[in-house]
C-alpha cells in the first residue's frame, strides 16, 4: 500500500503578518476617511468664502451680540468705526505670505455690544524688507471706518513657537494674552481682519484678510491613502496565495 502522506510539514499560518496587515490597512483606510471629512469641510469653507466675496458688510455690534448667544461669526463681513485705530498701539504677529515673510499688526478697537467692549483688529501685513512702522499716538481718537472679515483665531500647534510677550514677538493669535497686552477690556473671542486700510497714507501696510487661493487637495490625499491600503491588501493576498499553494 502506498503511503500518500506528504512528508513536508505545512508552514504555519502567518498570524503575526496578518494582524500587522490588518492594523496597517485599517490606519490607511482611517486616514483616507479623515481626508474625505476634511474635503467636505473644505468645500463648505470655500463655498462660504465665495459667498463672502459679494456679501455686503453688516454692522459689527449685532454680529457680536449673536456671537455671545452662540451664533456664527467666522467669515462674516462687517463694518465698524474704530476711534484712533490709525495711530493705535499694535502687536507684531509673524506671518508668511506669497511675497515672503513679514508681520501683521494687531490693534484693539473699542466696540459697543451687549457683552464685549473691544475687538482685536488685524490691520494688515508689512513685509520684512520694510523696517518702518505707522505712528503710534494713544491720544489720537480720530475715527477710522473699517470694513473687514471676522475670523476665528487659529489654534497654536506643537510646532508653533511660544509668544514672546515682552519682546512683542507673536506667533499665534492668543486673543486673551493679546488683549491684556493692549489693555483692551472685555475682548470678543474673534478677530477682525481688515479689508480696508487703517492707514491710507502708509501704503506699506497692506490689508490682506483672505488668501487669494486656498488649496483643496483632500480628495487627492484620500485616494492616495485608499490606494495604499488597496496595494497593501493585494500584496498580502498574493503572499497568502503563495502560502496556500506551498
pLDDT digits (tens, 9 = 90+) for 91-131: 999 998 777 899 999 999 999 888 899 999 999 999 999 98
Half-sphere exposure of 175 (CA within 13 A, CB side): 18
Determine which helix (DSSP H) or strand (DSSP E) holds 147, and give its type and residue range: strand 143-151
What are the residue ranges spanned by the domains of the chain? 15-40+217-245, 57-194
As a whole number, the mean pLDDT across the chain is 87
DSSP of 93-135? EEEEETTEEEEEEEEEEE---SS-SEEEEEEEEEETT------
What's the pLDDT score for residue 5? Answer: 55
pLDDT digits (tens, 9 = 90+) for 192-213: 999 999 998 898 999 977 655 6
Query: Rounded distance, CA 199 to CA 144, Å?
Result: 9
Pairwise pLDDT comparison (241 vs 83), residue with the higher score: 83
What's the pLDDT score for residue 99? Answer: 75
For residues 62 and 76, the answer to whether their CB atoms sit within 8 Å is no
What's the pLDDT score for residue 212? Answer: 54
Nearest to 78 by CA among 246, 196, 214, 234: 196
Q: What is the DSSP letter of 156?
A: P
Provide the 10 A C-beta neighbour count for residue 106.
Answer: 23
Q: What is the average pLDDT across 222-236?
A: 91
pLDDT at 4 over 60: no
| Degrees, nearest 5: CA angle 92-207-115 | 75
pLDDT digits (tens, 9 = 90+) for 10-52: 667 777 888 888 999 999 999 999 999 989 988 887 887 777 7
What's the pLDDT score for residue 47? Answer: 82
Q: What is the average pLDDT across 1-5?
A: 53
What's the pLDDT score for residue 46? Answer: 82
Query: Rounded distance, CA 20 to CA 237, Å?
Result: 13
**Length of the chain (residues):** 246
pLDDT at 8 over 70: no
What's the pLDDT score for residue 43? Answer: 87
Amino acid at each position: 500500500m502506498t503511503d500518500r502522506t506528504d512528508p513536508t510539514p505545512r508552514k504555519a499560518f502567518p498570524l503575526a503578518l496578518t494582524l500587522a496587515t490588518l492594523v496597517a490597512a485599517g490606519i490607511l483606510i482611517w486616514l483616507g476617511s479623515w481626508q474625505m471629512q476634511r474635503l467636505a469641510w473644505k468645500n463648505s469653507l470655500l463655498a462660504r468664502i465665495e459667498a463672502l466675496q459679494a456679501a455686503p458688510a453688516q454692522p459689527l455690534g449685532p454680529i457680536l451680540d449673536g456671537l455671545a448667544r452662540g451664533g456664527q461669526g467666522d467669515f462674516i463681513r462687517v463694518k465698524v468705526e474704530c476711534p484712533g485705530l490709525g495711530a493705535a498701539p499694535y502687536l507684531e504677529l509673524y506671518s508668511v505670505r506669497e511675497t515672503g515673510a513679514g508681520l501683521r499688526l494687531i490693534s484693539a478697537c473699542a466696540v459697543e455690544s451687549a457683552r464685549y467692549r473691544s475687538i482685536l483688529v488685524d490691520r494688515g501685513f508689512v513685509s520684512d524688507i520694510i523696517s518702518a512702522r505707522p505712528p503710534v499716538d494713544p491720544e489720537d481718537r480720530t475715527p477710522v471706518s473699517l470694513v473687514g472679515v471676522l475670523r476665528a483665531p487659529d489654534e497654536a500647534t506643537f510646532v508653533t513657537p511660544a509668544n514672546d510677550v515682552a519682546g512683542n514677538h507673536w506667533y499665534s493669535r492668543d486673543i486673551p494674552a493679546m488683549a491684556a497686552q493692549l489693555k483692551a477690556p472685555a475682548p470678543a473671542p474673534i478677530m477682525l481682519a481688515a479689508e480696508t486700510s487703517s492707514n491710507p497714507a502708509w501704503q506699506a501696510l497692506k490689508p490682506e484678510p483672505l488668501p487669494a487661493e486656498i488649496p483643496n487637495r483632500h480628495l487627492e490625499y484620500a485616494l492616495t491613502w485608499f490606494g495604499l491600503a488597496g496595494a497593501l491588501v493585494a500584496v498580502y493576498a498574493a503572499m497568502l496565495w503563495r502560502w496556500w499553494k506551498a
